[in-house]
Structure 1
Amino acid sequence: MKMYNCIIVGSGIAAMQLANHLNDQFCILVITKSTKRANNSYRAQGGIASAVGKEDKPAFHYQDTIKAGCDFHNEKEVLNLVENGPKLIEQLKKSGLDFDKDNDGQLDLGMEGAHGQKRIVHCGGDATGKYIMEHLNSTLRHDIDILENRFVYELIIHPTTKKCIGIKAKDKNGQNESYFGHQVILAMGGIGGLFSITSNDPSVAGDGIALAYRAGAEIVDMEFIQFHPTLLYLKGKTAGLISEAVRGEGAHLIDESGKSIMSGKHPMEDLAPRHIVAKELYQQRLAKKEVYLDISMIDRFEEQFPTITAMCQTNGVSLKEKKIPVAPGCHFLMGGIAVNSVGKTSIDGLYAIGETASTGVHGANRLASNSLLEGLHYGQRLANHLNEQLIQEEVVIPYNDLTKDMTVNLPPLPDKEELRAKMMAYAGIIRTSSELKTLQDWLSEYDEWILNDMSLDEYSTETLQRLFMLQVAKLITTSAQLREESRGAHNREDYPTEDERWRQIHIVQSKKGIEMRERQHEYHQVEINA
């Protein structure tokens, strides 16, 4: 049996950054659900937010992040993130990544929503994620084991020490496999696949959160789900993301009559924080009105945004009319697995980074292009932490103690599309207590599945995927029902304003129950020179 020092579950930017920065002495396994390119990082269009401009400072980036996230952050973590941004960009440049430059040979910095400065560093116009991921994959050590098309369905917890010592997975033929290691890192992305309208890769469905929860880890702030305002929308379906960078270049959101939708709705209008723009567009769609992105003011659109251009052409959208039909859809989870500053969860030996984790850097609503920055930052930070640890000689694997009870007879699980439709309808952009209660009642019909601690070994990958989706849907719905205010990406029609009392509260869920935990504030006064 091969023993690994680190088992990394996932293949996005946080996972690959971690793998690239671990010492050569580490024996590493990267295992991923689909292929190593089937992740949200690869799809990312906008870029990396970093205060690298002449007039910009990390202090400004800090302020924009706090404001966009409605003051619900771990301020110390935000400060560390924005201060590390320029260093991370410089490291990528030195390692050979070629960022887009302007005519003077300087970094070509873009503008996006809720940013006060041009600070978005990008590659290939609107293909930043693809370029970064190809770069990180190309620089991986050749001795790192990479396994694709593996569905990880269980964390192996030692029955005596309660330490996470490995994972169970199913290969593409449904055969069970087990892998053991000193540290297990979950870097499996978000929850977009739980909603019928999403920008996410179809494989991203909250698996990491379900795994951690079922193992006993703490899950926090699942009510905060960002809906991106502009997804390409055709015949009732979405066909991909239209980057916020398009609005950063001057595009406007208009209704079917050509009237500006965001005029007078927010001081930043089309570049308002995402939750504000998404809510306005959702209300337009709810009123059966068409919504478009007017790109008539952008010269050389096809050159600046080749990925979006190709996507429009593939889906039969002509750019001659200079307007793109759009609608909001599920984009990013701010909550997730509760972790400390290096990604350690409440279970010994288990870490989480990237969108799977809740670090506190995004607050109640993520600032545009802070996601790739987060993945790079915490991937490197966890690597530095693990590099300083002593590598144990072996993991003690108890004989015959890792198996659970045999499977039991349970009712049929719902179809995935039915679950996605209900999540979009009842736990989507605008929520109410009655709709959330309807969803809770429906989910409770499957509590025998969700709450049962039976063995999962004999179930198919498809069944396990639906079980995990139900599990995470219940976590989201419970948190959304409990938070009786509107804050950031959590919009409650029956509680439309922010409540100072609720700003102090994290909603923490685990197998032990639900806890309303007081937030630990770490305020930092950031000095800004005039």
Structure 2
Amino acid sequence: MIKADVIIIGSGIAALQLAVHLNEDKNVRLLTKSKLRLSNSYLAQGGIAAAIGVNDHPSKHLTDTLEAGRFHNHLEAAKQIIYEAPSLIRDISGKGNVFDMDSNGEFSLGMEGAHREHRIVHSGGDATGKNLSEYFIEKLPPNLKVEEDSFAYELVLNSEGTRCIGVKVKRQDESQEIYYGNHIILATGGCGQLYKYSSNAKTVTGDGIALAYLAGAEIMDMEFIQFHPTLLFVNGDTKGLISEAVRGEGAILVDENGTPIMEGVHPFKDLAPRHIVSQTIHEYLKNGSQVYLDITSIKNFKNRFPQITELCEKHGVDLTKGKIPVVPGSHFMMGGIKTDLIGRTSIPGLYAIGESACTGLHGANRLASNSLLEGLYQGKKLAEWLNTVQQDPIEIEVSNHKKGCQRSRKLPDIQEIQEFMMERVGIVRSEMSLKKQKKWLEQFKLEEISSFDHFSISELTKIFMLFTANLITEAALQRTESRGGHYRMDFPTEDNERWLRKSIIQQKWEMEKRYEQIETALTT
């Protein structure tokens, strides 16, 4: 039994930002199921969206976020995060040489899909996540102890079942440990590896969402899964992400004959919102046509995108021919554990930040490069709050409502889970495919599992994948419309009532923008 003030589960940007901003008088443990540097954040290529350009303004950034999110966003949450983005960037830049700058010493700003302005701050060209993670890792305080290869498999509640006070962990040798803490933070990322094609790290299998759900926390918007349009596709398999920044620099999507595929589909063409581009590519693939990124218009591609160049060359793609084969794959989960802006869940003592959390920022479809932004915001805000909150003694006596050990039925292979999710709950869905997946999931009788202690890490990974897959499938069945990352071929349009909501949000936001313009004019 180990006690700590704060227990952080995960090692992405949100977790690291939290860790470096906690007061050093706190005893902090950071648990990660694999290695410190193995996370989606570390793999992130594109950058961080922030309205810091001369012609940009947070109101423009917010408008783009709402439109990409198909007006399913939580307006106030989105506004608070986006308006703080410039200060978050400047705070990091003022403490270290992290971001790429232009010849005038200003931030070098990139363009990505569904943005109306160049506002993507990046580092090392396409190594933003890696460089930012290393920046934080170097600043980790001495009061923090990192424990790798620690698989969190159950949240511990108090005897009344009203507060989270700890987490059960398995090591690689299957030994078990219980960590007790005043504050338990889930920063475990999304669930990209539930799908056959994914840009996510191999460890991102929805564990944190399943843990929170099983503890009784509120989960929301699980039907909204973003499929990134461009994953490198070689020999029938995906090999990694080709950042949207490549299209931002001028690359276009073409079929095998060199014909542009986004012409006439959307006014933004290749920089349309991700769900539109992914659905378009999906149609071409379904009809037997391969899709490529034509990069011939990008000068000095290797210098601008060194990591992507290395990835392509590693897998035998000849960049001198100017075409990169791509397919869409699962990339980001807009839903997750319902939280407020600083990460508090419906269970006292339990928090979620980063992709595992659902603040309402992203709505039905995340705007490119808003993910690292959300992690930076929540990590810092939660740290500031934890630094001021009074800590009560940890109650070690725990609820013992689970009896015995009833193992589940035979579990499927991970590849089978991934293939069925891609086929039935993927880019294009229908009532028939979703019900088929629901019936397949029901055979494993997950609800009959009364204890997780005696399952291996491998078995627990599959069990959590199945729980999370069921949450997505159930939510997708319930939403009888298409919106953002959720496309139902049997309900291909957005619901009229939701368009009314859009209208109300737009009117309110246009009014706020006009007031801001007046205030700006008066002060200048």
Q: What band does the TM-score fall into relative to the shorter chain?
A: over 0.9
d(CA) in 1 for partners of 2:277 and 2:449?
Answer: 42
Aligned to 2:403: 405
Aligned partner of 1:500 in structure 2 is 496
Residue of structure 1 equivalent to 2:413: 415
Count of residues paired in the alignment: 513
1:207-218 to 2 correspondence within 5 Å?
207-218=207-218
Contact 1:483 1:502 in 2 (8 A): no
Residue 161 of structure 1: CA displacement? 5.4
| Residue 109 of structure 1 pairs with residue 109 of structure 2 | yes
The match for 2:512 is: 526
Residue deviations 1:285-307 (CA, integer Å, cap 9, x gap): 11110100000000000000000
For 1:127 and 1:216, the matched residues in 2 are separated by 38
Cα RMSD between the aligned structures? Answer: 1.8
Q: Displacement of 1:98 after TM fit?
A: 2.4
Q: For residue 464 of structure 1, what is the aligned residue in structure 2?
A: 460
Amino acid in the other structure paired with 2:308: I
- 1:376-387 superposed matches below 5 A: 376-387=376-387
| Distance (Å, rounded) in 2 between the aligned partners of 1:211 and 1:520 | 34
Q: What letter corresponds to residue 93 of structure 1 in structure 2?
A: S
1:418-429 mapped onto 2 (5 Å cutoff): 418-429=416-427
Structure with higher helix content = 2
> TM (normalized to structure 1)?
0.94
The AA in structure 2 aligned to 1:265 is V
Letter in 2 for 1:398: E
Distance 2:448 2:256 in 1: 50
Q: What is the 5 A alignment of 1:180-329?
A: 180-329=180-329
| Aligned pair partner of 1:475 in 466, 471, 478 | 471
Distance 2:402 2:231 in 1: 43
Deviation at 1:468, TM superposition (A): 0.4
Which letter maps to 2:427? I
Whole-Å separation in 1 of the counterparts to 2:473 and 2:335: 13
Give the letter aligned to residue 485 of structure 1.
E
Contact 1:158 1:402 in 2 (8 A): no
The equivalent of 1:514 in structure 2 is: none
The code of the aligned residue for 1:147 comes to E
SS at match of 1:296: coil
Q: 2 CA distance for matches of 1:415 and 1:180? A: 33
Tell me the alpha carbon deviations over residues 406-463 of structure 1, each in whole angstroms, 9 at most, x when there is no partner.
212432111110010000000000001001111011001012xx21251111110011
**What's 1:516 paired with?**
none
1:491 has 2:487 as partner = yes
- Is the contact between residue 74 and residue 521 of structure 1 (CA under 8 Å) also seen in structure 2? no
Cα distance between partner residues in 2 of 1:297 and 1:223 = 37
1:7-41 Cα offsets, whole Å, 9 max, x none, are: 00000000010111111221111000110111000
User: Residues of 2 paired with 1:7 and 1:258: CA distance?
Assistant: 52
- Which amino acid in 2 is paired with 1:397? I
Q: Counterparts of 1:425-440 in structure 2 under 5 Å?
A: 425-440=423-438
2:394 counterpart residue number: 395
Distance of 2:22 and 2:356 partners within structure 1: 20
Amino acid at match of 2:239: A
Q: Deviations over 1:254-278 (max 9, x none)?
A: 0000000001100000000000000
Alpha-carbon spacing, 1:434–1:297, altered in 2? closer, same or farther (3 Å)? same
* Separation in structure 2 between the aligned mates of residue 474 and residue 503 of structure 1, nearest angstrom: 28
Check whether the contact 2:25–2:143 (CA below 8 A) recurs between aligned residues. Answer: no
Could you tell me how far 1:526 is from its partner in structure 2?
A: 3.2
Checking the alignment, whether the CA contact within 8 Å between 2:186 and 2:208 is kept in structure 1 is: yes
- Deviation (angstroms), 1:50: 0.2
| Structure 1 unaligned residues grouped into runs of 5+ | 506-518
| 1:403 positional shift | 7.1
| Match of residue 31 from structure 1 | 31
Q: Determine the structure 2 residue equivalent to 1:10.
A: 10
Aligned twin of 2:83: 83
Deviation at 1:160, TM superposition (A): 1.8
SS of the residue 2:390 aligns to: coil
Give 1:102 shift.
1.3
Distance 2:484 2:477 in 1: 15
Q: Write out aligned runs for 1:435-454 (5 A).
A: 435-447=433-445, 450-454=446-450
Mean CA deviation greater in 455-464 or 494-503: 494-503
Amino acid aligned to 1:329: G
SS in 2 for 1:266: coil
